[in-house]
Structure 1
């Protein structure tokens, strides 16, 4: 099938997904009967306040946590049914960018070593070709290759997040899940990272799930927005429609609290 024919196909589907956590304090339903599609070439924003379940949903989509009920499908295959080689191969197609870039990078590896590590783990290329690919990716995300052999702690927070994005792109994934990737950065750096993700999405044809507590952040990137509250999706609509005519009172409250993020 041609790439143009693939556009609009459902890449990831969550079907009636719930996630229940149990502890000594009791049980918490973090995700409650959520259904959501992400199509090829599309960016879906998931917004909500802290504790709304959006980050848990992101981890369920990535297969980092098992669902309690319902199912997650990637290219029509159920994640929980995959084992061994199929599961390992899937990891190359789904990558995640986390909120804290320094915490997600390997501190004892250099910048280029961090970016090359997924290629090594998936046995792609030679040591020399992996380094060459990693240097290309660092340059793509705006990190000067001259500094490739520095450790993550020698970079600013914004540069660390660029390195983390380069690492996430190393395996040429179909899906990029970004969990609050700008919330730990100051506003001017947030705008730079958003502009970078916007550019990469267009040039690489990525499908994205973008998690944020701020609707202004996803407004720039998302084709559709799902609003979560207490584990449920309370409203979902194309971005322009949701901003122009929100239906749920909670969405209206979030919009009233929007802080603009500009380049």
Structure 2
């Protein structure tokens, strides 16, 4: 197990409680979780298990009700001003619905350029050149850089969303069900792309999915959530070949693992 210095982001006994008309909902309950530099941690569980809430907590998009989230040793709750802005650019997210997350009135290049503009990275010409490079990196021809999201297929939209997430050269890439809205054949293409990018760029990733078969392909380590709690955690090989928790065994028996290369 890597030492503490290799931990990029850590949730320390984190709980998140939401208020509703029916009362309080404990979406995350005392979760402690670490993502180490250079690894891909798969976070799996059924819908409603708390996976996406954990992602938003680790990204600092929501404050925990209790506990702490530390990024590179710094408590996100204590960051202000420039320190918060600097940390924000080091963590990026790819969402489940690419069309819903892209800016519809911006071109493909414009979507990729926007994070660079917001963080004062380069000038307009250098940002456009970098956007075209990133589009090409994720498999979208720069010839189509001036087309709008609605003019692309769902798979191509997700590639644009990934290019945008890479625009600030983040240390952490959080992928929240990035393939679940896509056709199976397109899912395979996006997974292959993420595998290639992880190797080429040395990314640290948190990959969230309800599908263990998908996570088996991508993750180096897996954490399993059920009802807001992490019930099991371990290397991908160990968890798939010798699951310890009954809930993990139930998940594994419900899906057909994907084997072999893409």
Q: Which bin holds the TM-score, normalised by the shorter protein? A: over 0.9
In 2, the alpha carbon distance for the partners of 1:118 and 1:135 equals 14
SS at match of 2:34: strand
Residues 21 and 111 from structure 1, CA distance in 2 versus in 1: closer, same or farther, beyond 3 angstroms? Answer: same
> Which residue in 2 is equivalent to 1:73?
70
Instruction: Give distance in 2, aligned partners of 1:73 and 1:259.
Output: 36
State the Cα RMSD in Å: 1.5
Count of residues in Structure 1 that have an aligned counterpart in Structure 2:
259
1:3-35 deviation digits (Å, cap 9, x = unpaired): xx9997110011000000001111100000000
1:6-85 equivalences in 2 (<5 Å):
9-85=6-82
Aligned to 1:141: 138
Matched residues in 2 for 1:79 and 1:110: separation? Answer: 33
What TM-score results when the alignment is normalised by the length of structure 2? Answer: 0.97
Deviation, 1:104, is 0.2
Q: C-alpha distance in 2, partners of 1:161/1:241?
A: 31
Match of 1:113 in 2: 110
**Partner SS state of residue 207, structure 2:** strand
Unmatched runs of 5 consecutive residues or more in structure 2 = none
Q: Residues 61-210 of structure 1: matches in 2 within 5 Å? A: 61-210=58-207
TM-superposition CA deviations, 1:178-224 (whole Å, max 9, x none): 00000000111001000000000011011000000000111111111
Aligned-partner Cα distance in 1 for 2:130–2:153: 23
User: Structure 1: how far apart are the matches of 2:3 and 2:138?
Assistant: 26
1:50–1:113 distance in 2 versus 1, CA, 3 Å: same
Unaligned runs of 5+ in 1: none
Give the deviation of 1:146 after TM superposition.
Answer: 0.4
Give the ranges of 4+ consecutive aligned residues of structure 1 lying more than 3 Å apart after TM superposition: 5-8, 259-262
